[in-house]
């Protein structure tokens, strides 16, 4: 077996490898590291190693040192991030679980952009239903005009969608009239509407003939029958709303219905019904039908 050959230079403390140095073939460290190598090196203490690392710690790793106040900041930041991860935002809830998982105030905050403002609006008006009937002038006390207009439009969209779907159906029941005229639930004043129908009881058009308190002077028969005749309607339905939400008929409602019913007989135009639009209260339906009650005459 050939012996390994190593050349050494005792003056600079380094070894140079000729063929294979040592029994395991490992080359000693170069003197370029700045640490002389010895055949019998002395053990280096832990304190000596630490002293050699100090210049490196002070430079490259100085940012790892924490002051007491910075430690509190990190703790509070961690708690805030943890809380955010446990409580998703309204947008995250909408994306994960859909709109059915959101409360009314959370829906409102998506429209307005601020949850605290949405909560303030609901508290001021009493409910989202009452808020949906608020006028632009009332909303301008809390919102800029653009946001107020957006809120009015957004709160009306579901009602408009419901009535739009009902308009394509046959008007063969008070419930179908109620759905088609559901937008009247949002009105702050009484409106008298004429629903004009063809021979199949499908919609020709709807026309509002008067606004304000419903009485004989505001709801004159000529104003009601003018569009009926103009559109050559086969039949028609009277509809008006009660802003109070109570759909019970008043004496003025009964008198008007009798007058219009008599005039329709003379003109040989069929009055199918007179429906009052209100709000569902205490489990009662949100409308009153003169035909169903037997008061149409």
Asked whether 193 and 240 are in contact (CB, 8 A), the reply is yes
Q: How far apart are CA 25 and CA 5, in angstroms?
A: 11
Residue 161: which pLDDT band, with cuts at 50, 70 and 90? confident
DSSP-H helix ranges across the chain: 46-59, 68-86, 90-97, 104-112, 115-125, 128-131, 136-139, 145-167, 174-180, 221-230, 251-267, 290-293
- The string of pLDDT tens digits covering residues 241-282 is 998 889 999 998 999 999 999 999 999 999 999 999 998 877
Residue 86: which pLDDT band, with cuts at 50, 70 and 90? very low
For residue 115, pLDDT beyond 70: yes
| For residues 87-99, average pLDDT | 79
Q: How far apart are CA 276 and CA 133, in angstroms?
A: 18
- For the ranges 48-62, 105-119, 278-292, the lowest mean pLDDT is seen at 48-62
- Is the pTM here over 0.95, yes or no? no
Q: Indicate the helix (H) or strand (E) that contains 201.
A: none
Residue 224: which pLDDT band, with cuts at 50, 70 and 90? very high
Domains and CATH numbers, the chain: 90-158 (1.10.150), 168-293 (3.40.140.10)
pLDDT of residue 41: 56
- The string of pLDDT tens digits covering residues 171-185 is 999 999 999 998 898
pLDDT of residue 201: 93
DSSP-H helix ranges across 181-270: 221-230, 251-267
**Which residues share a beta bridge with 170?**
none
Asked whether 202 and 170 are in contact (CB, 8 A), the reply is yes
Instruction: Please state, as a whole number, how many other Cβ atoms lie within 10 Å of the Cβ of residue 238.
Output: 26
Contact partners, residue 296, CB within 8 Å, separation at least 6: 257, 261, 271, 273, 274, 290
Residue 95: which pLDDT band, with cuts at 50, 70 and 90? confident
């Amino acid at each position: 077996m050939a012996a390994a050959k190593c050349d050494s230079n005792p003056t600079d403390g380094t070894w140079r490898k000729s063929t294979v140095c040592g029994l395991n073939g490992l080359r000693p460290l170069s003197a370029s590291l700045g640490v002389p190598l010895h055949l019998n090196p002395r053990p280096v203490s832990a304190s000596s190693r630490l002293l050699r690392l100090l210049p490196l710690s002070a430079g490259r790793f100085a940012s790892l040192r924490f002051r007491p106040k910075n430690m509190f900041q990190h703790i509070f930041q961690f708690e805030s991030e943890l809380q955010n991860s446990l409580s998703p935002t309204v947008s995250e809830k909408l994306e994960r679980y859909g709109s059915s998982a959101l409360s009314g105030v959370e829906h409102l905050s998506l429209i307005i952009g601020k949850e605290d403002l949405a909560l303030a609006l609901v508290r001021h008006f009493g409910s989202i239903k009452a808020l949906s009937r608020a006028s632009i002038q009332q909303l301008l006390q809390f919102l800029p005009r653009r946001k107020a207009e957006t809120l009015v439009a957004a709160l009306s969209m579901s009602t408009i969608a419901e009535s739009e779907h009902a308009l394509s159906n046959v008007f063969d029941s008070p419930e179908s009239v109620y759905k088609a005229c559901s937008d009247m639930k949002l009105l702050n004043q009484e409106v008298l509407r004429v629903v004009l129908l063809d021979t199949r009881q499908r919609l020709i058009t709807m026309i509002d003939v008067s606004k304000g308190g419903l009485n004989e002077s505001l709801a004159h028969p000529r104003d009601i029958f003018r569009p009926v005749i103009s559109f050559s309607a086969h039949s028609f339905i009277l509809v008006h709303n009660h802003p109070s939400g109570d759909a019970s008929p008043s004496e003025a409602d009964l008198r008007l219905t009798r007058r219009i019913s008599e005039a329709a007989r003379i003109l040989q135009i069929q009055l199918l019904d007179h429906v009052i639009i209100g709000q569902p209260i205490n489990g009662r339906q949100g409308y009153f039908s003169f035909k169903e009650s037997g008061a149409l005459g």
